A and B are shown apart, each in its own frame.
Chain A
Amino acid sequence: MITCQHARQLFDRYLDDELSSSLQSELHAHVINCTPCQNHLAVLEACGDVIRLDKCEPAPSESFTDRVLAARREQVAAGRVRARGWGRLVWRIGAPVAAAASIVLIMIVGTPVFDAGSTPAHPTVVGSSMQAPPEEVQRNLLRAKGRELDPQVSQELAQVPQMKALPFLEALINPLVEGTRSAVAGTRRSYEDLELLFHYGFNGMNERLVAEYRQKYPEISPQEAERVLSDLDILKKALQPDQPADEPSNIEAAPSTPAPSNAPASPDAI
């Protein structure tokens, strides 16, 4: 025969439906003959039943379904469906950054590309695959004149090892960063992404960043997180000037849309 103390210790497992049938029989036998335990259990069961059955919460507005579907249509139409999560954003920022970095690489390995304000002499360096046509780079350079670099960006860039052409890269990168900032400012979530990106810096992207992102946006699957990591690796490499001379071509070859993984995502991992 079990004691009251033991019986009460079993209540939770009983209510969780995790009690073996033999213990359950013993518990029943005790409760039938013990009024205090009977009352104790009755209160616990009644609380559960009220929570289960007393649906006194208000309902969403009548227009809720239509609003969700309208927002979904807008989301699709505006291309806000971020099937690639980070990849898209990183590429949006990464493309100009990688373009800038590739210029720096070329400069470091001794091939002068162009002077600020003039047409690039070597269009292939910032070629079409980098999504930053020479005209745009030139325009950005002109816009950058006389401006101060965002201190945060400056700090990030200062951490890049052996950045011999830092002032040049700063002048190039600042308007691009600003442009990207304003381009994404329309959507809070994207903006938060960007803040996160700047918080950790271009050179400090790592698993910590992705872990935080995943915590913030649980629907992002591990596969997407992996792709983010690989995108970040590409960026990191792009920002390291002590890479081999063939690095620019590697950067250009980097896929902006890696093949989607077929591995299933699990709710516990999102």
Chain B
Amino acid sequence: MFAGQTDQGGLKLTRRSEKRLVSQARSGCEEASRALVETHQDRLFAFVWRILRDHHEAEEICQEAFLRAFSALDSFSVEYRFSTWLFTIAYRLCLNQIRRRKSVTGELDFAAMASREPDAADLVAESEEARRLKDEIWNAVDQLSVPQRAAVLLFYREGMSCEAISKTLGIPMATAKSHLHRARARLRESLAETVQDCSQIRALREAAS
């Protein structure tokens, strides 16, 4: 009803629909709030989960991000995307959560966290080699620093430009670019040993398709 277009399975709003929904939600319309939550929750959750690798924490953070966004709707300018705003809030909440964790458990071991909650198995038929490569890429993503991971996810998943990433993460554009480029270099390095011949390149392309 509110959706304007779909993007790779995730629902995205047109600017006009978003503007209308934000305005309705601001005046207390719960249906509009629901539509805003429904159209953003999966993408936001995926992003937060990738940063925190904990289902419960990710839900808490997402809920808090929505509540904070709703409670400050009055100061939201419709010339910006609601999603950018939401991701900005969620990212800051993630950083706070990571700080809290560090103060409780010391340094984080993302690799251990990754193995604690394995990725949902992809049921689509694909070669074992392709699945293995995908897993390797995601493991490499988990090894990235938090800002690098966030930059990569926002760039590829959300289709954000470097400028939008810099705004969302609250960092200068040059830093956002540097995070993205370093992340790519690290992902490639971590695959360099695995992917050495043409058959593996083909498997990688299959994994990506």
Binding site for B on A (CB under 8 A): 11-12, 15-16, 39-40, 42-61, 64-65, 67-69, 71-73, 75-76, 80-83, 85, 215-221, 223-224, 260, 264-268, 270
14 other A-B residue contacts (CB within 8 Å) besides A61-B59, A64-B63, A71-B67: A46-B201, A47-B137, A48-B208, A54-B134, A54-B207, A56-B121, A58-B120, A60-B58, A69-B37, A75-B71, A83-B71, A221-B75, A264-B79, A267-B167
Closest A-B pairs by Cβ, 7 of them: A264-B77, A49-B208, A221-B75, A265-B75, A57-B46, A219-B72, A51-B156
Q: How long is the Cα–Cα vector from A85 to B72 in the complex, in angstroms?
A: 9
Closest-CB distance, B166 to chain A (whole angstroms): 8
Check if B204 is an interface residue, CB within 8 A of chain A.
yes
List which B71-111 residues lie within 8 A (CB) of chain A.
71-72, 74-77, 79-80, 84-85, 88-89, 92, 96
Chain A residue, CB-CB nearest to B42: A59
Check if B69 is an interface residue, CB within 8 A of chain A.
yes
Q: Assuming A43-B191, A52-B8, A59-B42, is B168 touching A267 (CB within 8 A)? A: yes
Q: Contact at B187–A47, with CB atoms within 8 Å?
A: yes
Residue among A64, A223, A264, A267 making CB contact with B62, cutoff 8 Å:
A64
**Which residues of chain B are within 8 angstroms of A48 by Cβ–Cβ distance?**
156, 184, 208
Q: Contact at B71–A82, with CB atoms within 8 Å?
A: yes
Closest-CB distance, A15 to chain B (whole angstroms): 7
Q: Contact at A56–B84, with CB atoms within 8 Å?
A: no
Q: How long is the Cα–Cα vector from A49 to B137 in the complex, in angstroms?
A: 11
**Which residues of chain A are within 8 angstroms of B62 by Cβ–Cβ distance?**
60, 64, 68
**Which residues of chain B are within 8 angstroms of A40 by Cβ–Cβ distance?**
188
Q: Contact at A219–B79, with CB atoms within 8 Å?
A: no
Would you give 24 A-B contacts (Cβ < 8 Å), ordered by A? A12-B184, A15-B184, A42-B204, A42-B205, A43-B204, A46-B205, A47-B184, A47-B187, A47-B191, A49-B208, A50-B134, A50-B138, A57-B49, A57-B119, A60-B58, A68-B63, A68-B66, A75-B70, A83-B74, A218-B89, A219-B72, A220-B72, A221-B72, A267-B85
Q: How long is the Cα–Cα vector from A53 to B138 in the complex, in angstroms?
A: 12
Q: How long is the Cα–Cα vector from A215 to B95 in the complex, in angstroms?
A: 11
Closest-CB distance, B193 to chain A (whole angstroms): 12
Q: Contact at A60–B80, with CB atoms within 8 Å?
A: no
Residue among B34, B170, B181 making CB contact with A65, cutoff 8 Å:
B34
Q: Assuming A52-B8, A57-B45, is B30 touching A69 (CB within 8 A)? A: yes
Check if B180 is an interface residue, CB within 8 A of chain A.
yes
Q: Contact at A43–B207, with CB atoms within 8 Å?
A: no
Closest-CB distance, B141 to chain A (whole angstroms): 7
Closest-CB distance, A191 to chain B (whole angstroms): 14
Q: Contact at B168–A72, with CB atoms within 8 Å?
A: no
Contact with A along B178-209 (1 / 0, CB 8 A): 00110010011001100100000100110111
Check if B12 is an interface residue, CB within 8 A of chain A.
no
Closest-CB distance, A219 to chain B (whole angstroms): 4
Check if B19 is an interface residue, CB within 8 A of chain A.
no
Q: How long is the Cα–Cα vector from A268 to B72 in the complex, in angstroms?
A: 15
